[in-house]
A and B are shown apart, each in its own frame.
Chain A
Amino acid sequence: MRFDTVIIGGGLAGLVSGISLQQAGQQTAIISTGQNALHFFSGSFESMQEVPKRTLDLFAGAGIRVHYSPGVRLTPLGTFREAALSLEDTSLFPTPRFADKILIVSFAGYLDFFTSFLAEGLEKQGMSCRICVLNLPELEKLEQGPSEVRSVQIARTMDRIWEKVVQEIRALLRDEDTVILPQVFGLQDISVPGRIRQGVPARVVFAGTMPPSVPGIRTQMLLKQRLRVLGGTYLMGDEATRANIVDGKVHSIVTRNLGSHCLEADNFILATGSYFSKGLKTNPFSIFEPVFGLDVEYDEDRNRWYDPAFANDQPYMNYGVRTDAALHGLHKGKPIGNLFVAGSILGNTRPDLGSGAGLAIRSAQVAVDQILSL
């Protein structure tokens, strides 16, 4: 099988690359294990202080509604973190004191939304909070099912019964100016968060839950759909195992599912993520990149990989694959001419490109620009 570009990794970096290349007329394929950082997305794109128009256009094309309003985001534990670009249903506020009276609504039996932490954090900012727990018979059925009542299970039910939730909230509201709901709305039907906001006679703020992240999964689905609509290929549940390198260039890659059918392409993008997504692997002696064996920047003394304080910055998180200025992956110090590296597998080796979602988007665009200018 032959493509113009093969992208290894189906997270934010991989999907942004694939959609951009496809829009520019390339034939691309993405190989995805199925698990990526979007599954624990906060709803705000980290380190996106300024947003290029092409990024906004890309999201708009995929039907992902975002807003750019530099300020702070409310975290699930009731603290605030700076953010600029967010999904439409993730509110950003100019200051942490965003309301006077707040009604926090959760559901009976749901353990992954931390109402008391939210209330305490908000009260510390001078806002008053009342917590209400809705007892919904529709969720009772979930409790009797085989899996636990977690965010995604609730979200599937909420796509059906959100109007009932709106009615209940209308009945509960006293003089509160703001209602906080868990971010479990609009998994399939992306219009739901907006319609809830229309139906409730107070400002509605959706606050994050324990992962899996409903807005993250929705974002991934929309990006995937967009790629497919543009004619791109998304190979779900597959994994690149090794590469055939000829004369300093990647000729093809071998995947677990395709066996002897190699994937050939003019260019390749490696966007397999960091440790959690297995883009970087570790053993007691080394940190390595498993597909191409690219050079990894890290300290050889394992004792220096960690800071004993959990809350401190951890050195291992800064380690990443070595690249040249154009983001070509380096192998034994030499760039591989048609291999580009994007996303969190870069660690903090390219601080100029930001971190988290910002790094994913920016590095994907650098790689795409390189490929299209070749």
Chain B
Amino acid sequence: MTTKDFDVIILGGGITGAGTQRDCAMRGLRTLLIERSDIATGATGRNHGLLHSGARYAVNDAESAEECIRENMILRKIASHCIDETDGLFITLPEDDLAYQQTFVEACRKAGINAEIIDPKLAVRLDPAVNPALTGAVRVPDGSVDPFRLCAANMLDAKLHDGQVRLHTEVTGFIREGDTILGVRTRNLQTGETEEFRAPVTVNACGIWGHHIASLAGVNIGMYPAKGALLVFSHRVNQMVINRCRKPSNADILVPGDTVCIIGTTSTHIPFEECDNVAVTPDEVNLLITEGSKLAPSLSSTRILRAYAGVRPLVSADDDPTGRNISRGIVCLDHEKRDGLKGFITITGGKLMTYRLMAEMATDVVCRKLNVNKTCETAHTPLPGSEERSYEQVARRIWEKPSMAQKAAASRMGTSVSRIGKLDRYDNALVCECEEVSVGEVNDAIERMEVSSLTDLRRRTRIGMGTCQGEFCACRAAGLLAKARNCVEKERSDLADFLQERWKGNFPIGWGDTLREAEYTQWIYKHVLGL
């Protein structure tokens, strides 16, 4: 039986919400997180997965740059199983002004970022994918981070601290008495069930959708939805993050992540109505390929796996039509002070990199309101999975001679991999061959991580994210889900939804091998499997 009274309700299951719930739960509060869809479905799962060093912001936004480098160092410690310490390059190309490099390096150093000018020839040796025409190179402590894994680990830790989570649950309104928010009214989008939850404080951590949530509470935050489009390539072309050493612009960051690499982004202002269904246009695809190939020429002949777009939750300060000049800084609003509305705060702006700091700031406000005097411990308490840094060591402790697939599982789950380590022989069978995800890992996610569909499962395990885009693993995973939940009927439509979702990211780049794979998938599911 779940209680309906909490100390704090957090709205939004992105990284900010999950991080805030973890922080609140670690400070002993009874927490509930409510998310309309699944974890990491908004901007959290729709970005580069770049572990910023802060260098990108050093020249124009010193405050963000300083936040980034501090959080960068913290995340390496507390979230090691979500992070790949690749380092990054800022390269100057012949058409760029080499003089900018000096300004850039000075700004980095002022912000505390270790930026080192290196010989362009060394840069090519460090990462042979880099454009050999470069005239300058700076090495910075960039890296890559798996935002799905990071978000899931925060949620899992909150649950380990007795936090409760309601996914696929929409807030339909606030329970309000005079000038005080007392809780929320919700509707489960899968079952239609309506419920009320009460807490003295509610945190709005809904990203761009926070605009709407705030308006439900009767307050206005001037948000600015800025769409960013990205492309995923089918293999890891580059080993280091490659950036352009110039004023931030379109498609000038290439991030290696897991088995793939990602180029982005663009920045276009869009109306709020479009936030739920952002589509990548052919013009954006062309721009990303053209600009991306300047960073790493081989991209022009590398297969593209997917196109996708996210919406940055910027808070507008002026009328800049591109959104590039708006600070990426953190906005923490106590609506009691700002609007005279008690029991309601908004945490927004910021970015994936600074989620922990955002969570700390929001939790500090929550604690102050509740008169709780506990300090934040998230900066030095590892997330579940990150208690040890070497996943290879973890794998070797569990399996005497770990297979590639077992090592892959350990790299994804960190120390949590021990949960799937000693099960029966069938658990080692692979569901997804592209990403080497086993039956054990899928079943663990189903059991512990609030999975209600194949798409949810993808965010937690990477099934269907590889080169086949779910052609084979979707069916196998659907079989496991049907068994675990004992409902085939639902699984059949779930499978169709999953394939539709994959297609959405495939057809904007539907040529070459992507189209081959799509034809194969479409033929098999329709004519052979009979879906």
Contact = CB atoms under 8 A, between A and B. Distances in A.
A302 B285 CA distance: 12
Contacts of A310: 496, 499-500, 502-503, 522
Interface stretch (A233-241, A270-278, A323-331, A362-370): A270-278
A244 B483 CA distance: 57
Interface string A40-51: 111000100000
B339 to A, nearest CB: 41
A50 to B, nearest CB: 20
A140 B424 CA distance: 12
A311 B496 contact: yes
A119 B530 contact: no
Nearest to B479: A114
B100 interface: no
Given A40-B524, A75-B530, A308 B482 contact: no
A81 B515 contact: no
Contact of B500 (A79, A210, A284, A309): A309
Interface string A107-118: 011011011110
Contact of A79 (B431, B510, B531): B531
Interface residues of A, number: 50
A337 interface: no
Interface string B265-308: 00000000000000000100110000000000000000000000
A120 B491 CA distance: 11
A367 B233 CA distance: 41
B528 A208 contact: yes
B499 A282 contact: no
Interface of B: 282, 285-286, 425-426, 428-431, 433, 439, 472, 475-476, 478-480, 482-483, 488-489, 491-492, 496, 499-500, 502-504, 507, 510-512, 515-517, 519-520, 522-524, 526-531
Contacts of B426: 108-109, 143
A112 B476 contact: yes
A356 B499 CA distance: 22
Contacts of B286: 284
Contacts of A281: 512
B519 A274 contact: yes
A130 B500 CA distance: 32
7 contacts: A40-B523, A117-B488, A120-B489, A148-B429, A148-B430, A283-B512, A314-B522
Contact of B529 (A77, A108, A278): A77
Contacts of A274: 519
Nearest to B488: A120
A315 B503 CA distance: 14
Contacts of B507: 305-306, 308
A306 B492 contact: no
Interface string A62-102: 00000000000001111111000000000000000000000
Contacts of B531: 77, 79, 311
Nearest to A308: B507
A283 B480 CA distance: 37
B428 to A, nearest CB: 7
Given A111-B429, A114-B475, A284-B511, A76 B496 contact: no
Interface of B is mostly: helix
A310 B471 CA distance: 13
Interface string A256-286: 0000000000000000001110100111100
Contacts of B510: 282, 302, 305-306, 316
A80 B530 contact: yes
A353 interface: no
Contacts of A112: 475-476
Given A77-B531, A80-B530, A208-B528, A276 B479 contact: no
Contact of B425 (A37, A79, A140): A140
B479 A111 contact: yes
Contacts of B282: 302-303
Contact of B511 (A111, A283, A303): A283
B439 A111 contact: yes
A278 B482 contact: no
B499 A275 contact: no
Given A211-B524, A283-B512, A317 B530 contact: no
Contacts of A114: 475, 478-479
A243 interface: no
Nearest to B476: A111
Contacts of A166: none
Given A143-B428, A302-B511, A310-B499, A116 B516 contact: no
A227 to B, nearest CB: 25
Contact of A308 (B475, B488, B504, B511): B504
A77 B488 CA distance: 10
